[in-house]
Structure 1
Amino acid sequence: MSGRLGEVAGHLATTRELGLVIGAMRAIAAARSREARNCLDSVRAYAETLGTAIGEALALLPEAQYPEVPAGGDRRHLVLALCAEQGFVGGFNERVLESAGACLGAAGAQLWVLGERGATVAAERGLRPAWSAPMIAHPDEMSALAGRMADALYARLGDGTPTRVSLVHAQPGEAGRQPVLTRTLLPFDYRRFPASHRHSSPAVTLAPARLVAGLAEEYVYAELCEALMLSFAAENEARMQAMVAARGNVERRSADLLAEYRRVRQDEITDEIIELSAARL
C-alpha cells in the first residue's frame, strides 16, 4: 500500500471511530435527559406538598401577621444562571447568559453561574460572576447541589447585599431549541398559596410564623431542585442535537474519504497494470 493510500485509509478509520464515539455520547446524553425528566415528577410532587403545607400554616396566623408581599422598587439584584458543566451543547450557554445579562441591567447587580463551561462563556462575554460552582453531571447530585445553592443564597441575603434573586435556566423544548425561563426566586411570594379553610387545624409544635418561614425555605429548595433537573435535561437535549449534527458531518466526511480511497486505489491499480504491460514489452 502506497503512502497516499495508507494515509487516506488511516483518516477513514479515524473518522469511523469518531462516529462511534459520537454515537455513544448521544446515547449517554439521551439517557441522562430521560433520567432528569423522570426525577421531575417526584420533585414537583414534593413542591406541591410543601405548597399545601404553607397554605395550612398560613391559616394558623392571624390575618394581621400574614407575611408581607414584597413590594416593587429599587432592589439589589442577584441573578443565578444555570449553565452547562460539559461541552458539545451548541449555543446553550450563550442563550442562558444572554437572558441573565438582560436581568443584570441595574448597577450593583450580581451574577452567579453554575457550570464550568458557562463560567468560561461568561468570561468571554465580559461578565464576571461573583460566585460559581460546578453544575451536576448526574441527577443523583441534584439534592446536594440544591442544598449548597440554598445555603449560599441565604448566607448572602443575611449579609444584606441583594434583596431580590432571579433564577435563569433552560428547559427541554421542541423543534431543537430549549427555551430559557427567568423567574423570581426571592423574596418569597406567599400569594401563590391561599390560606387553607379546613375545619380542623393541623397539630403543630412550632410557632406558626416560624413554621411558615421554614416551609418557605424548604419550598425554595424544591424550586432549586426543579430548576436543576430542567436545566440538566435541557443541557443533555442540546448535546443530543449537537451530536446529531456532528454525526451528519462525520458521515459526509466518511463518504468523501471512502470515495477518495477508492479513487487512489484505482489509480494505483492502473499504474500497476501500466507497469506490467510496459515490462512485457
Structure 2
Amino acid sequence: MEQLTRIEARLDSLGELSELTGALRSVAAARLREAQAALTGTRDYCAIVDRAIAEISPLAGAGRTERKAPAVLLAIGSEHGFVGGFNRRVVERALGERRPDERLVLVGRRAQIAAAERGIATGDDFPMTSREEGVTPLARRMARRLETAASARLVYAHASGGAGYEIALRQVLPLPKVAEDAAVRAQPPLHHLPPDELLDGLASEYLFAETAHALMESLAAENAARLQTMDAASRNIDKRLETLRRQARAARQEQTTADMLDVVTGAEAVNHG
C-alpha cells in the first residue's frame, strides 16, 4: 500500500509538470509566430535604409571623421531559460570570433551567466526582451551604444526552419561600402539636409535597423529553441508517466492479491480453529 501511495504521488507531480510544460510550449509557439511575422518588416526596413545610404553616399564628403571609440562585439542571448544550449552556443561563437581589440557586450541575463561560468567578465550589458513589442526600444538603446564604435559586429541566432536555429555573425560598422555597380538613380535624390549630415542620420538609422532585425531573429530562434526543449521534455514526461502507470497497475494487482491471500488465510484459520 505504501509503494502504491508513493507511485500515485509521483504520478500527480508529473501530471502537474506535464501541464506546465504544455503551457510553456504554447507560449513559445505563440511568440515564435509573432517574431516570425515581424521579421518581414524588419528585413524590408533594413533594405530601405541600405538603399538610402547607397544613394546619398556618393554626395557625402570624402574626408569624414574616423570613429575613435573601441570596437564592439555584441552577442544576443536570452533573458529566460528552458532553451537548451542556446546561450552556450551564442557565447561560444562570440568568444571564438572575438578579436583582441573588441569589447564584448552581452544581451540577455542567461547569456551573461553563460559567459560568467567561463570566467568572462563583461560590462554595460543589456537585458533581452521576451516580446516582439520590446524589440524597438531595446534596439534604439543598443544602436546609441554602437554609434561611437570604430567597428561593431553582431552575434545572434536565427531560426533555420522548424525548431532549429543557427548562430550568425554580421558586421554593421563601418558602414558597408557602396558597390560600384549599385543601381543608384540617374538623378541625385531630393534632400533638404547637407549630404554629410543626412548620411550621419542614416548611419544611426542603419544601426537601429540592423540591430532590430538581429534582435527579432534572435527572439524567433530563442522561442524555436524553447519549443524544441519543451517538446523533448513532454516526450520524456510522457514516457515516465506511462512507466509509472504500469507500476501503479502492478502495485494495485499486488495489493489485491495480498488482500485475497489475507482473506483466504483468515478463512482457513477459522475453519481449522
SS at match of 1:132: coil
Change (3 A) 1:67 1:254: farther
Counterpart CA distance in 2 for 1:7 and 1:198 is 80
Whether 2:137 is the aligned partner of 1:137: answer no
Q: Is the 8 A contact 1:44 1:226 kept in 2?
A: yes
Look up the equivalent residue of 1:42 and give its one-letter code.
G
Q: Is the 8 A contact 2:163 2:227 kept in 1?
A: no
Counterpart CA distance in 2 for 1:103 and 1:192 is 26
Partner residue of 2:219?
Answer: 232
- Identity among equivalent positions (%) equals 34
Whether 2:238 is the aligned partner of 1:245: answer no
Q: 2:94 aligns with which of 77, 93, 100?
A: 100
Alpha-carbon shift at residue 4 of structure 1 (Å): 2.3
Deviations 1:22-59 (A, max 9, x none): 11111111111111011011112222222222233234
Counterpart CA distance in 1 for 2:71 and 2:52 is 29
Counterpart CA distance in 2 for 1:49 and 1:67 is 25
Partner residue of 2:250?
Answer: 263
Deviations 1:109-159 (A, max 9, x none): 3110001111111100111112211101100000000011112223xx2xx
TM-score (norm 2): 0.90
Q: Is the 8 A contact 1:142 1:225 kept in 2?
A: yes
Partner residue of 1:3?
Answer: 2
Q: Is the 8 A contact 1:59 1:196 kept in 2?
A: no
Counterpart CA distance in 1 for 2:4 and 2:240 is 16
Q: 1:219 aligns with which of 172, 182, 206?
A: 206
Counterpart CA distance in 1 for 2:215 and 2:161 is 19
Task: Name structure 2 gaps, 5 residues minimum.
Answer: 269-273
Q: 1:206 aligns with which of 170, 193, 198?
A: 193
Pairs within 5 Å for 1:1-80: 2-61=1-60, 65-66=61-62, 76-80=70-74
Q: Is the 8 A contact 2:46 2:206 kept in 1?
A: yes
Change (3 A) 1:240 1:25: same
Count of equivalent residues: 265
Cα RMSD for the two superposed structures: 2.2
TM-score (norm 1): 0.88
Partner residue of 1:196?
Answer: 184
Task: Name structure 1 gaps, 5 residues minimum.
Answer: none
Whether 2:162 is the aligned partner of 1:168: answer no
Alpha-carbon shift at residue 192 of structure 1 (Å): 5.5
Q: Is the 8 A contact 2:54 2:178 kept in 1?
A: no
Where in structure 1 do 4 or more consecutive aligned residues deviate above 3 Å?
A: 174-177, 192-195
Change (3 A) 1:67 1:26: farther
